[in-house]
A and B are shown apart, each in its own frame.
Chain A
Amino acid sequence: MSESLALLREHLLATPMPAIALTLAAFLAGNRLFLRLNRPSWCPAILIAAMLLAASLALLGIDYGDYRRGAGWLMLLLGPATVALGVPLFQQLPRIRDLWRPILISLPPAAMLAAFYSVALAWLLDASPEVLASLAPKSVTAPIAIGITEQLGGVIPLMMGGLLITGVMSTACVGALARYLSIRDPRVLGFVLGVNGHVIGTVRAFELGPTAGAFASLGMSLTGIFSALFLPLAWRLLGL
């Protein structure tokens, strides 16, 4: 009996479907739990979902590599989804056009410092070059960050984990600072969320409203483009 169950398990795991089902289930459960907890800004839905997913993989004894191969089918949608961000960007264009100056002034230092702070702190604490390279693109949206990390010689799973923590921290910090300094301007909050918290910040910004969401998409894409050009160059100059 148990032998045939093991065979069935093996048979099912040979297809990408279990990985896709687990990801969808964890995402939906994470969202539901997030709503049940009254949308805590320190713990976004994706963190809950990622922990649920990791726990179920461990419980079911599914190897991460196997899971990753299956879920790769789902990640294929990341490309079209990135293209889709052009729509909110276009819809908010009039507002963005009015503000091109503050955006262009703030973006390069903000994107550079987002990488610099973390790399400098990790370097002070004796992190290996591999770890430094994985931390540098921590504020860059996943599809671009993967390319940057490969170029710098980092480790992709570590970089993706950094992305998660950065996204979670950004939404928490923006939430706390906005309350503390009573900032309500959705343009500022959205932009800050997108520049620092990539997709996770952008998802949070869309919860605040369409203006915040559009500014977050803008901040995220500009940070991505700028970092893709700037980080490899900086790495070469620093001789890392």
Chain B
Amino acid sequence: MPVLRGFLWLVGFLLLGQALVWSLRLPVSSGVVGMLAMTLWLILRGRVSEDIQAASQPLIAVLAMLIMPGVVGVFFIAEAFAGQWLAVGVALILGTLLSVATTLWLMLRFMPADAPDE
């Protein structure tokens, strides 16, 4: 049952995140607060238990699938934004190209050059 036990841990931290977001009126999602709480918990314990490992690895592997239902919606709203698709397309494509280049430049500029061992 390691997967189930691990999943219970994940859901527990998600609930903790939800509780913190609600009671402190945080403007971020409960998943992110839960993730940070999980990281903090792992730091305190010093290692990842097999249960948590067993549940998180498959979930991370299907992360892309979990956003598919929302992502597919874009194919069904084409008419609603007729006439704005050029703006949207240019903004997304050119905007992303620019921001990727900027982030790369910033990271290379400030990153100490040490040989990664991978």
Contacts and interface: CB of A to CB of B under 8 A. Distances in A.
Interface in A3-37: 19, 23-24, 26-27
Nearest to A127: B87
A162 B108 CA distance: 27
Interface in A44-99: 44-46, 49-51, 53-54, 57-58, 64, 67-68, 71-72, 74-75, 77-91, 93, 99
Contacts of B107: 102, 106, 188, 191-192
A193 to B, nearest CB: 9
A121 B67 contact: no
A58 B73 CA distance: 12
Contact of A173 (B28, B34, B89, B96): B96
Contacts of B90: 121-122, 125
A39 B88 CA distance: 27
A83 B10 contact: yes
Most B CB contacts (10 A, CB to CB) among A50, A79, A125, A169 go to A79
A121 B108 contact: no
Interface of B: 7, 10-11, 13-14, 17, 27-32, 34-39, 41-43, 48, 52-53, 55-57, 59-60, 62-77, 80-81, 84, 86-104, 106-108, 110-112, 116, 118
